[in-house]
Chain A
Amino acid sequence: MNKQRLSLWWFIGTLVFALVSMLVPLPGVLEPFKPYWPALFLLYWSLESEDRVTLGLAFMVGLGADLLNGVVLGEQALRLCALVFIALRFRSRLRFFPMWQQALAVLALLLNDRILLLIVRVLAGGTLPPASWWISPFVGAALWPFLFLLLDDLRARLRIQ
């Protein structure tokens, strides 16, 4: 029972951590390299813990991120919903990919996410972002194996589901 509660808190904790690290600024030069943390953590949990991650959860996390970010309410909710939906649909296949293929799949998902964001921004009357804006998905995909292994290792150490 206690174990279950611990694992639930661990799950929530990683998502909150993802939201806060989304807000943490990097020094000016590194700024375009910042990966989209909530998407990476949600992807990890949707691959590893199928019963916890649902579209509703992705929607709520996205709403929370929007509330913190203050751009447009519902923007990240839309993006994360689409992301989690694709991840859940191909979950069984993604899980058995070797790590490099999984990273490529994550790259495709993150690029798709950026395209969605671009569509939303342009429809809302925003301007086109600079070219360096497209670097972030690549950094996210490059970090994916490390993030995946780290979270898996921590989970094994804590002996939680």
Chain B
Amino acid sequence: MARTRDESSPLFAGNAAGTLRLIIYLALAVVLMVLDQRNGWLWRLRYGASAVVEPVYRLAGLPAAGVRTMSVAFADRQRLTEQNQRLREDLLLANAKLNRMAAVAEQNQRLKELLDTQHSLELNVQLARVIGVDLGAYRYQLTLNVGSRDGVKPGQPVIDAHGVMGQVKEVLPTTAVVMLVTDPAHAIPVVIERSGLRTVAYGSRDGDQLALPNIPLAADVRAGDKLLTSGLGGRFPPGFPVGEIVSVAPAATGMFLVAQARPAADLDRSEDVLLLHDQAEPDGPPALVKPMGPPSDLTPNGAAAPAANATVQSVTTPATVGVPQ
């Protein structure tokens, strides 16, 4: 009673059809990958399938949330009291600082009004919670519990109490994915607080540091220098802490200094984060200012006046833009 050999039970080796099918599937996968890489379909698909995808995220986030709840539930009174005490002290300190800052901010506001700039110190933020979901990509991403229904848009900066965490990368109806500043594909324009040197901080491969690969050799940069956002590029508003320089060394090429920095934000411990709503001012020159001078209907009516007037207008308009008045 020999067992009949059919396609589904090859004892030693598969047949040609199996290999052919494999090749077809692999080719299909490669085509999908290329199309997705070029067009970014996946996010549109995910947005469409969000009714399925989002509950799964919440489900996968349950264990992490459970552990968090348990740690609160089983924490002893002693520790909670201590924590409460510390938070009170922090709040007191922060409030004291704020009170002193309020006067300065007020003054700053007035001076800025005098200077006629629109930039304000007020923060327009939205609180969001982190969902504990692991999305592959070697820990360079966070998932938040707010999405396009809460008014979140791609590109919004995300901060925590200590500094910049990253920016919103993709948005689903009720979740958002944040690209952290330590992502190797991320770059953030920074300024070194002490010396005012402007440079760019990139994410690094090992995932918990920032790299500043192109600092001029003559620049004054030391370990311990603080990095702030410079506001260049128009995505992150200026003045937020980004990190602290850990080490500086000449690059292998000998043409630049390379620095490593530690992010200021608690990238792997934050549970609550803030989404900034006011985007930085758009870059580029300010809007056209109306040229000053007497109204055009008061111009003397000569024979060549309209033509002359037009040329004068077109010449003076760029000049008034270029020279601040």
Contact = CB atoms under 8 A, between A and B. Distances in A.
B33 A120 contact: yes
By DSSP majority rule, is chain B's interface helix, strand, loop, or mixed?
Answer: helix
B80 to A, nearest CB: 21
B25 A71 contact: no
Contacts of B21: 55
A92 B56 contact: no
A98 B309 CA distance: 96
Interface stretch (B132-140, B150-158, B247-255): B132-140
Given A25-B64, A88-B18, A70 B177 contact: yes
B49 interface: yes
Interface stretch (A59-67, A106-114, A140-148, A152-160): A59-67
Interface in A26-65: 26, 28, 31, 34, 50-51, 55-56, 58-59, 62
A51 B57 CA distance: 31
A151 to B, nearest CB: 21
Contacts of A62: 29
Contact of A73 (B25, B32, B137): B32
Given A55-B21, A67-B49, A74-B32, 14 more contacts: A19-B56, A23-B134, A24-B63, A28-B268, A31-B134, A50-B9, A67-B45, A69-B136, A72-B37, A73-B35, A73-B36, A82-B22, A88-B14, A127-B184
A14 B13 CA distance: 28
Interface of B: 8-14, 18, 21-22, 25-26, 28-33, 35-37, 41-43, 45-46, 49, 53, 56-57, 59-60, 63-64, 132-139, 170, 177, 184, 205-207, 268
A5 interface: no
Contacts of B177: 70
Interface residues of A, number: 44
A71 B11 CA distance: 37
Contacts, number: 122
A67 B52 CA distance: 10
Contacts of B139: 28, 31
Contact of A78 (B30, B49, B135): B30
Contacts of B53: 67-68
A85 B22 contact: yes
Closest 9 CB pairs of A and B: A74-B32, A23-B60, A78-B29, A25-B134, A73-B36, A74-B33, A74-B29, A73-B42, A127-B184
A128 B205 contact: yes
A55 B19 CA distance: 10
Counting chain B CB atoms within 10 Å of each CB, the highest count among A21, A26, A58, A81 belongs to: A81
B134 A26 contact: yes
Interface of A: 19-26, 28, 31, 34, 50-51, 55-56, 58-59, 62, 66-75, 77-78, 81-82, 85, 88-89, 92, 120, 124, 126-130, 133
B134 A34 contact: yes
A130 to B, nearest CB: 5
A72 B8 contact: no
A90 B17 CA distance: 16
A34 B30 CA distance: 26
A127 B183 CA distance: 10
A75 B42 CA distance: 12
A13 to B, nearest CB: 13
Contacts of A92: 9-12
A56 B97 CA distance: 63
Nearest to B27: A78
Nearest to A62: B29
Counting chain A CB atoms within 10 Å of each CB, the highest count among B29, B36, B59 belongs to: B29
A74 B205 contact: no
A125 B132 CA distance: 27
A120 B37 CA distance: 11
B134 A56 contact: no
Counting chain A CB atoms within 10 Å of each CB, the highest count among B25, B134, B138, B206 belongs to: B25
A129 B30 CA distance: 21
